[in-house]
Amino acid sequence: MTRFDTYGVVVTGGARGIGEATARRFAAEGAGVLIADIDEESAARTAAAIRDDGGRAEHAACDVADSAAVDAAVARAVAAFGTLDVLVNNAYACSDHREDFSEERDEDWLRDLDICLVGSMRCSRAALPHLAEAPGGRGAIVTVGSVNGLSYFGNHAYSAAKAGLVSLTRTLAQQAAPLGVRANLVAPGTIRTPVWDGREKMLEAAARAYPLRRVGEPADIAAAVAFLASTDASWITGVTLPVDGGILGSNAGFTDALAAEFAADTAQA
């Protein structure tokens, strides 16, 4: 028997990248997984690939900005698996970074906030009554945030939305606890996902900034999500777990500047 046998799981933005890796991880551990994604064709392909590998998976077209679509996706998961035990809030939007803050656009902020933050609220609101009915207190919400919500890495609107998810997770943890449902957040650093396709040089440069000297892989985040969703984490709720290769604990710019100054002083001595 594997960790998520008999579970029903919804993964938003599950067609590719972190969402796909997470869906595959749950399916590999026995769960039935609904891949909810605005790109229905890609969601269908991912679900079919999981089934081809012997897993249980369905898909649903789902725009998390649309409450009706969210409600329908949750209902489809319950109908398909007979239960909903885990919601993974992974869908996101990320507007372009603007060096000049005076050029920030209302429409970018409204979109990023609506998809990342309000979208996670919509999904959690729809799922919570079903999660509360999950047997054995195994109901859980795991939200995929970002180190951008914890420190400065650019992409201002996206970062603000991800910071909001930290607060939302604390709120959900308190609201859901009496129902036996836990809520936690994983905050990834730079992850090698399709959004980086064609920009391998940027990933190589980013890797050098990480203490572990590599960027993350989708499977790194999927593993953390699966842990927080599992009964192994049954006494953990309301936390933000960085999965970041150590980047939040480092200050490369400061230490590099001191190292350069130290080298100059040594050379003069």
Q: Which CA distances in Å does 42 have to 14, 20, 38, 197?
A: 9, 10, 9, 17
Which tokens go with 103? 């050029």
Dmax over CA atoms of the chain, in Å, equals 75
**3-state secondary structure (DSSP) of residue 208:** helix
Q: Sheet with 56-61: list strands edge to edge.
A: 56-61, 32-37, 8-12, 86-89, 140-144, 182-188, 240-243
Pairing of strands 182-188, 240-243: parallel
Q: Which of 7, 92, 152, 158 is catalytic?
A: 158
Q: Which CA distances in Å does 44 have to 13, 19, 59, 219, 231?
A: 12, 13, 6, 20, 29
Per the annotation, the verdict on 158 as an active-site residue is yes
H or E element, residue 23? helix 17-28
Residue numbers annotated as active site: 158
